[in-house]
Amino acid sequence: MNNIEETLSIIKPDAVERNLQDQIKNEFKSKGFEILNEKKIHITKEEAEKFYKVHESKPFYNDLCAYLSSGPIVVMKLQKDNAVLENRKLMGATNPDNAEEGTLRKKYGISIDKNSVHGSDSLENAKIELDFFFKD
């Protein structure tokens, strides 16, 4: 049974800064993800605060929002069977030190804050996050 989903992926400033976006996009493509839409943008701190509002109460919230708005990012609408879970698997654990071999965060992540990629954590949040960046 097919279960085609769409999810949001962000290539974060640390990876764009190191010019890893094409390599990371190829990782998605080779795992069977289709990139339906993508754009390179530089968001404001206020936009980052809105995007990460679920983390408002966390001690890392301010630094996280400052970081996501610190440089260009690449936002992508990905499609695949079970895209939400498959993307989370390909990304690996939040902290690159704990991420499994072969995952994007293991390969490219620098630290828990500079962990190279974001991915929606549920189908519900994927819809909200895709709307945030791709609503026409």
Catalytic residues: 118
Under the criterion CB under 6 A, does residue 77 sit at the interface with ligand CDP? no
> Among 121, 120, 119, 99, which residue's Cα sits nearest to residue 110?
99
Pick 58 or 136: Cβ nearer ligand CDP? 58
* Nearer CB in complex with Mg ion: 47/121: 121
Phi, psi torsion values for 80, nearest 5 degrees? -175, 165
Q: Does 122 bind ligand CDP (CB under 6 A)?
A: no
Nearer to ligand CDP, 4 or 54 (CB): 54
Q: Partners of 74 in the beta sheet? A: 11, 40
| Letter string b/e over residues 83-116, b meaning 16 or more CB atoms within 10 A of that residue's CB | bbbbbbebbbbeebeebeeebbbbbbbeeebbbb
Single out the residue of 132, 121, 111, 134 nearest to residue 49, CA to CA.
Answer: 132
Q: Is 84 helix (H, G, I), strand (E, B) or coil?
A: helix
Using the contact rule CB under 6 A, the part of the chain among 20-28, 34-42, 110-118, 128-136 near ligand CDP is 110-118
Measure Cα distances from 122 to 7, 40, 44, 82, 117 in Å: 9, 23, 25, 10, 16
Q: Which of residues 98-127 bind Mg ion (CB under 5 A)?
A: 121
Q: How far is the CB of 121 from Mg ion (least distance, A)?
A: 5
Query: Contact with ligand CDP (CB under 6 A): which of 35, 110, 112, 123?
Result: 112
Q: How far is the CB of 60 from Mg ion (least distance, A)?
A: 12
Contacts with ligand CDP by CB under 6 A lie at: 55, 60, 64, 94, 112-113, 115, 118, 121
Contacts with Mg ion by CB under 5 A lie at: 121
